[in-house]
Amino acid sequence: MKKKVSIIVPTRNESAHIADTLKSIFAQDYPSKFTEVIIVDGDSDDNTPNVVANMIADRPNARLISNPEKVVPYALNYAIKASTGEIIIRMDSHSIYPLNYISLLVGEMNRLNSDNVGGVCVTLPANDGLVATGIALAISHPFGIGNSTFRIGSKDIREVDTVPFGCFKRSLFDKIGMFDTDLIRNQDDEFNGRIIKNGGKIHLIPQIKIKYFARGNVHSLMKMFYHYGLFKPLVNKKLGASATLRQFVPPLFTLFLVSAILLPVIPLIFQLIWACLLFVYLIMAFLVGATLAKKVNRPALFFVVPFLFPLIHVSYGWGYLKGYFLVNVLKKKLGKKDFAISR
């Protein structure tokens, strides 16, 4: 007999995408009598609650609940507590899922005896504009986001340190606890770190392709990566883990750029080394930009993508440096005051 699956959908201000997300959820080939769908709205400022209410009106296995705290970790915990399934699958509201998404996740979780399984994000632009398209390309390339396997893909099923969204056994939350509400961002990173720390396994299933819609403008892109960086030192502190090389590179690059203020007072040889390093970075950015522009046959992207890379790296890097200083030097607690709530 099939296990009951609880699908939890945290959402806020997603009126542009929530309908498509729910359509893909309601079209799943996993029998609806063995599923429940819990959408958690974080006090949206747009039409998201009305869109959801209309779509679930005739679906007895779907319901909308409120998240007065607005932010994701609370939404996840509210939904988990309200759910009744043996398996809990998080499905975010700016994505579209393949019709066999639930079936594949549940099947692979059982076959691999995994604690969390997930697929690969195929990043799509929020619209057809040059900037939105450039953003989608930039955050899908290793030069933009490093070796993030679930973004750049993998040929084979493999153990990883994180996957997007996730599929969990209910018993896992009884064993290691719920999502950490201190982490407005990166709560999934910390939770996955806790899984591994407790001897669990996380598997990436590359044949599962999730259509993920990227941010549509530069401001929201920079804000997103700034917050990722800001909360990462707190994640590491909670897990008792050291930063990885991938985490270190953006803050080092940011410090490198800031060091330009010293150029007038340092020896010429160091000025030349600094200039050469920046030149190499820019050459790489433009080479990757040219490759991506050619790949999608939009030459104008050559004048967009290379400039997005430093914005991503500096946003994350500055956030990381600030987060490290607040958490490890000033011993302050991060919270919603450090997070501009939007999507």
**Over the stretch 30-66, which tens digit does the pLDDT of each residue have?**
999 999 999 999 999 999 999 999 999 999 999 999 9
- Mean per-residue pLDDT for 98-123? 97
Local confidence band at 337 (pLDDT 50, 70, 90 cut-offs)? low
- Mean per-residue pLDDT for 202-217? 95
pLDDT at 70 over 70: yes
Within-domain flag for 296 = yes
Question: How many other β-carbons are positioned within 10 Å of the β-carbon of residue 122?
Answer: 15
Domain residues for 274? 238-338
pLDDT at 165 over 80: yes
Share of the chain above pLDDT 90, in %: 89
Within-domain flag for 216 = no
Q: What is the DSSP letter of 333?
A: P
Question: What amino acid occupies position 206?
Answer: P
Residue with tokens 């407790």: 198
Of 307, 141, 300, 291, nearest to 214 by C-alpha is 141
Residues 6+ apart with CB under 8 A from 14: 21, 44, 46, 48, 93, 94, 343
pLDDT at 202 over 90: yes
Within-domain flag for 130 = no
Q: How far is CA 297 from CA 126, 175, 213, 214, in A?
A: 18, 50, 20, 20
Within-domain flag for 334 = yes
Burial bucket for residue 200 (CB in 10 Å: 0-12, 13-18, 19+) = middle
Q: What is the DSSP letter of 135?
A: H
- Mean per-residue pLDDT for 147-168? 86
Question: How many other β-carbons are positioned within 10 Å of the β-carbon of residue 287?
Answer: 12
pLDDT at 247 over 90: no
Local confidence band at 1 (pLDDT 50, 70, 90 cut-offs)? confident
The strand pairing partners of 35, in sequence order, are 5
pLDDT of residue 271: 97
Across 189-334, the runs of DSSP E, i.e. the strands, are: 202-213
pLDDT of residue 108: 97
pLDDT of residue 334: 82
- Mean per-residue pLDDT for 202-226? 96
Task: Output 171-179 pairs: Cβ under 8 A, ≥24 positions apart.
Answer: 172/115, 172/116, 172/200, 173/80, 173/88, 176/200, 178/76, 178/77, 178/80, 179/72, 179/73, 179/76, 179/77
Residue with tokens 């209309």: 54
Structure tokens at 226: 């700034």
Within-domain flag for 257 = yes
Question: How many other β-carbons are positioned within 10 Å of the β-carbon of residue 55?
Answer: 20
State the Cα–Cα distance between residues 307 and 188, nearest whole angstrom: 29
Q: How many domains does the chain have?
A: 1
Residues 6+ apart with CB under 8 A from 75: 8, 10, 11, 12, 40, 42, 67, 69
pLDDT of residue 336: 66
State the Cα–Cα distance between residues 65 and 264, nearest whole angstrom: 59
Within-domain flag for 15 = no
Please give the model's pTM, rounded to 2 decimal places. 0.92
State the Cα–Cα distance between residues 222 and 314, nearest whole angstrom: 9
Q: Look at 116-125, 207-216, 238-247, 330-339 and tell me which has the smallest mean pLDDT.
A: 330-339
Q: What is the mean pLDDT of the chain?
A: 94
pLDDT of residue 155: 80
Within-domain flag for 262 = yes
pLDDT of residue 343: 54
